[in-house]
Structure 1
Amino acid sequence: MSATVTSTSPAQNPATTRTAMLGLGLGNTLEWYDWMLFGLVSAYIGPHFFPSHDPVASTLSALAVFAMGFAVRPLGGVLLGAVADRVGRRQIMILSVALMALTTLVIAVAPTYQQIGVWSGVILLVCRLVQGVSTGIEAPLSTAYAVEVSPPGREARAAGYISLFVNLGIVLASLVSFFTSLVLGAAAMQDWGWRVPFVIGAVIGLLVLYLRRALPETLHESERGETSVWRGVGRHWLGLVAMIFVVGAAQAYNYAWTVGLPNLARSTFKEDPTPVFAASTALGLVLLAGSPLVGWLADRFKLSRTFTVTRLLAVPAVFLMLLYSRPGLGGLFGVVLGGSIVLVLNMTLYNLVATSLMPKYCRATGVALGYGVAVAVFGGTASYLLIWLQSNALVWIFPVYVAALSLISVVLYLAARRTSGAFAGE
C-alpha cells in the first residue's frame, strides 16, 4: 500500500492554539525536569537509600530504580492511552502532571535508609513507578495533541515546540543542580542539598496544574474509539514495531549523553560535580536552541527524508563516547558537546515520527504502547548499561549497540510507511 497523508484537524483560532501549546509545553517541562533530575543526582541519592562501601555500587542501585520507572511506562501508556482515545486527551494530561508533581514532593522529603531502613528504598521505588506511569502517557500524548491542535503543514514545527519545552525541563534540571552544588558545596550537596531541586520541581508543579486546566479537548465525539481502538493498533502492527525502534534508538542515545556520561564522570572518574553539571547544562542549551530549527527543517524538507538522514548520522556520532575513557573534564565536555548536534536532530523528531505511524482514532493507545516499550527496553537501561560496561572494560559495546538500533529503526520506519501509510507530518 502506498503512503497516504491524513490531516489531523483543522486549524484553530491562533490565540486558542497559543494558550493550549503553552499549557501543554510547560507540562512537558515539569515532567522532564523531574525525570532528568533523578538521573542527574543518582550519585547522591544512592548512598542515602542504598548504602554501600562502593560508590559505584550505590550509584548503580539508584540507576536501577531509575530504570524501573521506565519498566512501567508501557503499562501507564496503555491504560491511560486507551482512556485518552475513548474519553479525550485533556483530563489525562492534567492527571499525568498531578502524579509527577506529587511524587516529586515525596522524594524531596523522603526519609533515608539510616532513618527507616529498607522502607526508604521502597518509598523511592514506588515514587519512580508512579512517575513512570505518568511519563508513559505524557511524552507520546503531548506530541499527538500538539499535532492535532496545529494547522496542516506545521506539524513538525509543533513537535519542535514541544521538544523545546522538554529540553527546557532538562536544562532547568541541570541548571538548578549546578547552582545548588555551586552555592552549597560538594559536602552539603551530598548530605542534603540534592533535595532542594526536588522541592523546586514540586512548586513548579502547582503552576503547571493551574495552566493545564485551560487545555481544550481535541478528540471530538465522532472520533472517539470504542472497540475499534485495539483493532486499529493491530491493523498497524508494523508501525507499532517501527516506532519501538525509532523511539528506542533515540532514547538510548539520549540517556547515554544526559544521564550515563554525567554519572560515569562522578561515580567512576570522580570528577568535580559542579563542572559536570555545567557540561549537562551546556548540552541542554544546545538541545533547547536546536529543537525549533529541526522542526522547521522537517516541515520544509519532508519528515521522512529529514528523519532518515538525521537517524543515519547517529550511527557514527554515538562512537564519540569512546573518547571519554579516563578522567578529564576536557574529554567530558568534548564528547558531550560533540554528540549534541546529532542528538538534537534525533530527539526533536522521534515522537512526531511515532505519531505519524498511527491514525488519530487509536493514536494515543498505539503511540503510548510503542513509546513505553521502547523507553523501558532501550532508554531506561542505557545509563545503567553504559556504566556497567565501563566498569568491566567493555564500553565499546555500547556505541555498537546504539548504532545497530539506529539502522534497524530506519529500515522498519520505511517499511511501515510503505505498508500502512503516514498519518501526520508529511
Structure 2
Amino acid sequence: MKLRRKRVKPIGLKDVTIIDDARLRKAITAASLGNAMEWFDFGVYGFVAYALGQVFFPGADPGTQMIAALATFSVPFLIRPLGGLFFGSLGDKYGRQKILSMTIIIMSVSTFCIGLIPSYNSIGIWAPILLLLCKMAQGFSVGGEYTGASIFVAEYSPDRKRGFMGSWLDFGSIAGFVLGAGLVVLISAVIGEASFLDWGWRIPFFVALPLGIIGLYLRHALEETPAFQQHVDKLEQGDREGLADGPKVSFKEIATKHWKSLLACVGLVIATNVTYYMLLTYMPSYLSHNLHYSEDHGVMIIIAIMLGMLFVQPVMGLMSDKFGRRPFVIIGSIALLTLSIPCFMLINSGVMGLIFAGLLILAVILNSFTGVMASSLPAMFPTHIRYSALASAFNISVLIAGLTPTAAAWLVEATSNLYMPAYYLMVVAVIGLVTGIMMKETANLPLRGATPAASDMAEAKEILQEHHDNIEQKIEDINDQITELEAKRSHLINQHPRINE
C-alpha cells in the first residue's frame, strides 16, 4: 500500500514572527513584577520567620518555633500542584494573559491577609490555622504564576534573545526578595525589635496589596502572546470545536509522549529551587539561629549577596543565548557538587569576609541555574500543552524543593551537624548534573509548535536562511543514512540464495 504524504507548506519570510520591542518590554515588565510579588512574600517570610515563630507558636522553644514557622512556609507547596493543574489547563484553553491576571489577584490578597491575622495570644490556635490558610491560598495561586510568567515571556521573545529576556523573570524574583528583606531590615531598624515583634512584622505583608494592584494593571493591559495567538488561529481555521474544548491531551498522554521533557523539567526545577530556598530562605535563619549572629546582621549579608546576583542574572541569560543553556546547568551542577562543603566551611569560619565569600560562591552557582531556567522550561513542550505540562511538572518538583528550609533546619537540629545543608546541596547537584547531560539544547531555536520569531526583518532573513540550511543538512544526513542502509541491504541479499533484487 502506498502511503500518502501530507503536503507541508514551505516556511517563508512571512511566516517568521517579528516581535515588537515595545510590546516585549511591557510583557517582561508585567511578568517580572508578578514574579517579584511572589518572591517578595518568600523574602519577607524567610526573614521574619523568627518573629512569626514567636507570634504564632509562643509556647515552643526557639528551635521548634523556627521549624514550625518554616514548616508553615513549606506546607503550601502541597497545594501548588493542584494550582498548577487548575491554572495550567485554563491557560492552555483561554490564554496566558487572563490566567496571569487571576493569579496575581489571589497572591496579593492572600499575602495582605497575613498581616491582618491576630497573634496566638489573642485568638489561640486559630492564629496558626489562619496563617496556614493564607499560605495555602498563596500556594494555589503561585502554582500557575511562575510557569505562566515564564511561558508568557518565552512566547513573546525573539528566538535569539530568549535567554536574555527570560533571565529578567528571575531578576524580578531576586529583586522581590531584596525588596522584602530590605523592608524587614528598615522597619526593624526604625521601630526597634520589640515593636517589630509586636506589630511591625505586619507592615511588609500590607505592602503586597499595592504591588499586586500595579501588577494587575500592567498584565490586564497586555495582549495575548504571538505563539498562543497562532495556535488559536489554527484552531479557528480547522477545528472550531477544539477551540471551545481546549487541549484534549491528558496528563497521562503527556507523561507517555513527553516523558524525557518532563524528567528534564523536574530535574532542572529541583536543582534550581533547592539551591534557591537553601540560600535565600533558610540561610538567614541559619545565620541567626545556628551561628548566633543578630537577625539584622544575617539579613544584611544576604541582601548584599542578592544585590550582587541582580547584576549577574541578565549576564548569564545573555551568555546562554551565545553558548547554550546546557553548559550552564552542567557547570553549575559540578560547581555545586564540589564547592558546597568548602562554601559552608567559609560560612562557619566566624570571619565576616570569608562568610560573605562562601555565600557569594553559592549565589553565582545559583545564578547559573536561574539565568537559564525561564528560557529552558517553556521550550520543552509544544504550544497546545505547554502551560498544562509545565505547570504540572514544575509544581511537583517545587513540592520537593519547598521542603528544603524545613528539612535543612530539622537535619541540623537532629544531628547537631552544621554541614548538613552542604550534603543536602551535593545530592541535588547530582540531579542537576544528570539533567544537564540529558536535556536537549534549545538556545536560538523556535519554541516547539511555533514559527520562528525575530527582532526585526534583517534577523528574520538570517533565521530563515539558517532554517533552510538546517533542512539541507538534515536531508544530506538522511541521504547518507539511506546509502549506508542500501549497502547493508545489498550485503544481506547477497548472502541469501533465494532473494533476488
TM-score normalised by length of structure 2: 0.78
Does the aligned pair in 1 maintain the 2:329–2:432 contact within 8 Å? no
Match of 1:260 among 258, 261, 282: 282
Does structure 1 residue 23 correspond to structure 2 residue 30? yes
CA 1:13–1:107 in structure 2 vs 1: closer, same or farther (change >3 Å)? Answer: same
Identity %: 25
CA 1:386–1:331 in structure 2 vs 1: closer, same or farther (change >3 Å)? Answer: farther
Does the aligned pair in 1 maintain the 2:327–2:436 contact within 8 Å? no
Q: CA deviation at 1:204?
A: 1.4
Alignment match, 1:294:
316
Alignment match, 2:70:
63
Q: CA deviation at 1:49?
A: 1.0
Letter in 2 for 1:49: F
Does the aligned pair in 1 maintain the 2:348–2:355 contact within 8 Å? no
Match of 1:350 among 373, 378, 381: 373
CA RMSD of aligned residues (A): 2.4
Does the aligned pair in 2 maintain the 1:286–1:344 contact within 8 Å? no
Does the aligned pair in 1 maintain the 2:110–2:138 contact within 8 Å? yes
TM alignment of 1:25-424, pairs within 5 A:
25-218=32-225, 219-220=228-229, 221=232, 222=234, 225-228=246-249, 230=251, 231-319=253-341, 320-325=343-348, 332-377=355-400, 379-391=401-413, 392-417=415-440, 424=447
Alignment match, 1:3:
none
Q: CA deviation at 1:146?
A: 0.5
Does the aligned pair in 1 maintain the 2:247–2:384 contact within 8 Å? no
Query: Where do 4+ consecutive residues of structure 1 move more than 6 Å?
Result: none
TM-score normalised by length of structure 1: 0.91
Q: CA deviation at 1:85?
A: 1.0
What does the per-residue CA deviation read over 1:281-312, in whole Å, with 9 as the maximum and x for residues that have no partner? Answer: 11221221111111100001122233322332
**Which region of structure 1 is more displaced relative to structure 2, 357-366 or 266-275?**
266-275
Q: CA deviation at 1:232?
A: 3.6
Q: Which has the higher contact order (CA 8 A, sep 6+)?
A: 1
**Which region of structure 1 is more displaced relative to structure 2, 41-50 or 355-364?**
355-364
**Which region of structure 1 is more displaced relative to structure 2, 218-227 or 286-295?**
218-227
What does the per-residue CA deviation read over 1:179-199, in whole Å, with 9 as the maximum and x for residues that have no partner? Answer: 112112222222221111111
**Which region of structure 1 is more displaced relative to structure 2, 252-261 or 268-277?**
268-277
CA 1:424–1:275 in structure 2 vs 1: closer, same or farther (change >3 Å)? Answer: farther
Q: CA deviation at 1:410?
A: 2.9
Unmatched 5+ stretches in structure 1:
1-5
Q: Give the distance between the partners of 1:266 and 1:107, measured in 2 at CA.
A: 23
Letter in 2 for 1:228: V
**Which region of structure 1 is more displaced relative to structure 2, 56-65 or 308-317?**
308-317
Larger radius of gyration: 2
What does the per-residue CA deviation read over 1:25-60, in whole Å, with 9 as the maximum and x for residues that have no partner? Answer: 211111111122112211101111122341111111
Letter in 1 for 2:372: L
Does the aligned pair in 2 maintain the 1:290–1:344 contact within 8 Å? yes
Q: Give the distance between the partners of 2:65 and 2:434, measured in 1 at CA.
A: 39
Q: Give the distance between the partners of 1:186 and 1:307, measured in 2 at CA.
A: 41
CA 1:74–1:9 in structure 2 vs 1: closer, same or farther (change >3 Å)? Answer: farther
CA 1:304–1:326 in structure 2 vs 1: closer, same or farther (change >3 Å)? Answer: closer
Q: Give the distance between the partners of 1:49 and 1:22, measured in 2 at CA.
A: 36
Does the aligned pair in 1 maintain the 2:160–2:321 contact within 8 Å? yes
Does the aligned pair in 1 maintain the 2:328–2:369 contact within 8 Å? no
What's the secondary structure of 1:177's corresponding residue? helix
**Which region of structure 1 is more displaced relative to structure 2, 111-120 or 397-406?**
397-406
Does the aligned pair in 2 maintain the 1:359–1:423 contact within 8 Å? no
Letter in 1 for 2:361: G
Q: CA deviation at 1:327?
A: 6.4
Does the aligned pair in 2 maintain the 1:82–1:229 contact within 8 Å? no
Does the aligned pair in 2 maintain the 1:9–1:148 contact within 8 Å? no
Letter in 2 for 1:47: Q
What does the per-residue CA deviation read over 1:332-370, in whole Å, with 9 as the maximum and x for residues that have no partner? Answer: 434322322112122222233222222222111111112
Unmatched 5+ stretches in structure 2:
1-10, 236-242, 453-501
Does the aligned pair in 2 maintain the 1:317–1:342 contact within 8 Å? no
Does the aligned pair in 1 maintain the 2:36–2:177 contact within 8 Å? yes
Does the aligned pair in 1 maintain the 2:154–2:374 contact within 8 Å? no
Alignment match, 2:479:
none
Q: Give the distance between the partners of 1:273 and 1:365, measured in 2 at CA.
A: 40
Q: CA deviation at 1:322?
A: 4.1
Q: Give the distance between the partners of 2:422 and 2:293, measured in 1 at CA.
A: 23
Q: Give the distance between the partners of 2:93 and 2:104, measured in 1 at CA.
A: 20
Does the aligned pair in 2 maintain the 1:9–1:150 contact within 8 Å? no
Q: CA deviation at 1:414?
A: 3.3
What does the per-residue CA deviation read over 1:184-226, in whole Å, with 9 as the maximum and x for residues that have no partner? Answer: 2222222221111111222211221122111211222137652
Q: Give the distance between the partners of 1:424 and 1:361, measured in 2 at CA.
A: 12
Q: Give the distance between the partners of 1:309 and 1:11, measured in 2 at CA.
A: 33
What's the secondary structure of 2:115's corresponding residue? helix
Does the aligned pair in 2 maintain the 1:21–1:146 contact within 8 Å? yes
Q: Give the distance between the partners of 2:250 and 2:158, measured in 1 at CA.
A: 25
Q: Give the distance between the partners of 1:111 and 1:132, measured in 2 at CA.
A: 21
Q: CA deviation at 1:17?
A: 1.6
Q: CA deviation at 1:155?
A: 0.8
Q: Give the distance between the partners of 1:423 and 1:64, measured in 2 at CA.
A: 41
Q: CA deviation at 1:258?
A: 0.6
